[in-house]
């Protein structure tokens, strides 16, 4: 990544130059106005990459830089997409000789206003406490004793530069208020090392479920030192499932809860290669209802082959904000919600926090309450 950094920085700089040229031209700015836009875009160009690579500095500085860089990232994203759409429209109109200076100005102003509005609304959506989404999952041959069994799922919180202890504490309190039979944490809880974030992940110790709290790793745990985080999560009282399972006794019926490591974990540690078949190996025959926790939805193919009934996943953030939701299907079979893969139900959470830009637009965060029902 570092070897490609100069190339990426150059491309980012060229995109900022394009944006400045099109906005200054469209808004018909004079020298002073163009200077202000230029300085803002220069700050954006510098701070955006710094927000990702700044973690070596003391937290009081790295967090402030990250906040500024990520806000710029969210605004830049909307400005760029809307400017490209505007240029496509202007190009089509130019072919018909219908472009006027007044329309050029109005369309440029609309781009700026819309980008600012989307960024502001997205910021509010990202920073507010995730709402509870209730989902019934009908399972064939579900034992009567498991009818109404509830699983509270949280995912993709991304405790790090902009998400801290207070944000996580509010999530924990909301989850506990649901009084679920089981709590499932489906990965990407952190963005940073145990040394920097242990104080901010401490509220996880307060999560409560009748049958416990189960966690699986996401790709960001591996970016942040997965072995240390697995140890820390277990110290906090969470049951981390690394390609393994537990059988729960609920009112005389058995429910198998399994968890796999992240789909990409084998690239970081071969011993952590994700394996749904291994996760269910040795399971008793009487545990016929089987739930898998898997960070990425694309584990579904192997999970269906392994005989699971329900997979709970995250990773996608529901796209987080337009237009990135349009690109999720290039990597994942599902973007959000309850879907079917062969005989397997897959629920994909939009995530309980956010990654990078504090911005959610068209993809609200969620705390999911799954209820098992008989089909």
In SS3 terms, 114-153 reads as HHHHHHHHHHHHHHCCCEEEEEEEEECCCCHHHCCCEEEE
For 199, phi and psi rounded to 5 degrees? Answer: -65, -30
| pLDDT for residue 54 is more than 80 | no
| pLDDT for residue 18 is more than 90 | yes
The token duo for 348 is: 């994909």
Pairing of strands 239-240, 213-215: parallel
Sheet of strand 182-185: strand arrangement: 131-139, 366-374, 150-154, 182-185, 213-215, 239-240
CA distance linking residue 281 with residue 259, whole number of Å: 12
Query: Domain segments of the chain: what residues?
Result: 2-127, 131-374
What's the first-to-final CA gap in the chain, in angstroms?
49
Q: What is the pLDDT of residue 14?
A: 95
| pLDDT for residue 59 is more than 80 | no
149-173 mean pLDDT: 97
Q: What is the pLDDT of residue 6?
A: 84
Q: What is the pLDDT of residue 263?
A: 96
What class has domain 131-374?
alpha beta
Q: What is the pLDDT of residue 96?
A: 81
Is the whole-model pTM more than 0.85? yes
Quote the Cα angle for 344-346-347, to 5°.
155
Q: What is the pLDDT of residue 375?
A: 78
**pLDDT band per the 50, 70, 90 thresholds, residue 55:** low
| pLDDT for residue 71 is more than 70 | yes
191-219 mean pLDDT: 96
Q: What is the pLDDT of residue 61?
A: 80
Average pLDDT over the chain reads 94
Beta strands in the chain (DSSP E): 131-139, 150-154, 182-185, 213-215, 239-240, 244-250, 253-259, 289-293, 310-313, 337-341, 344-348, 366-374
Lowest mean pLDDT among 40-49, 196-205, 363-372: 40-49
Q: What is the pLDDT of residue 345?
A: 98
| pLDDT for residue 1 is more than 60 | no
| pLDDT for residue 258 is more than 80 | yes
Q: What is the pLDDT of residue 325?
A: 83
CA 100 from centroid of its chain's CA atoms: 42
């Amino acid at each position: 990544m570092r070897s490609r950094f100069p190339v990426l920085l150059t491309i980012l700089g060229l995109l900022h130059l394009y944006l400045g040229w099109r906005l200054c031209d469209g808004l018909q700015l004079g020298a002073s106005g163009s200077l202000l836009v230029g300085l803002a875009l220069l700050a954006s160009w510098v701070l955006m990459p710094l927000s990702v690579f700044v973690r070596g500095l003391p937290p009081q500085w790295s967090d402030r830089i990250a906040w500024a860089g990520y806000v710029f990232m969210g605004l830049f994203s909307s400005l760029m997409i809307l400017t490209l759409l505007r240029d496509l429209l202007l190009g089509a109109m130019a072919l018909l000789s219908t472009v006027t200076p007044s329309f050029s100005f109005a369309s440029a102003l609309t781009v700026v206003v819309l980008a600012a509005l989307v960024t502001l609304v997205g910021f509010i959506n990202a920073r507010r406490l995730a709402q509870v989404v209730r989902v019934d999952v009908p399972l064939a041959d579900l034992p009567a004793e498991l009818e109404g069994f509830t699983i509270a799922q949280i995912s993709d919180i991304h405790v790090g530069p902009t998400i801290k202890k207070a944000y996580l504490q509010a999530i924990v309190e909301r989850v506990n208020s649901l009084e679920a039979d089981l709590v499932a944490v489906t990965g990407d809880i952190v963005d940073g090392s145990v040394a920097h974030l242990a104080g901010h992940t401490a509220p996880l110790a307060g999560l409560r479920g009748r049958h416990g709290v189960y966690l699986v790793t996401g790709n960001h745990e591996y970016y942040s030192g997965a072995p240390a985080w697995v140890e820390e999560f277990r110290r906090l009282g969470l049951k981390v499932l690394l390609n393994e399972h537990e059988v729960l006794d609920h009112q005389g019926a058995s429910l198998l809860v399994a968890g796999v490591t992240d789909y990409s974990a084998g690239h970081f540690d071969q011993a952590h290669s994700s394996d749904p078949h291994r996760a269910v190996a040795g399971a008793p025959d009487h545990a016929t209802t089987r739930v898998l926790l898997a960070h990425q939805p694309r584990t579904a193919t192997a999970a269906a082959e392994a005989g699971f009934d329900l997979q709970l996943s995250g990773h996608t953030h529901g796209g987080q904000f337009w237009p990135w939701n349009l690109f999720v299907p290039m990597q994942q079979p599902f973007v959000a919600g309850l879907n079917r893969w062969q005989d397997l139900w897959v629920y994909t959470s939009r995530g309980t926090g956010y990654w990078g830009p504090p911005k959610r637009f068209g993809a609200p965060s969620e705390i999911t309450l799954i209820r098992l029902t008989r089909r």
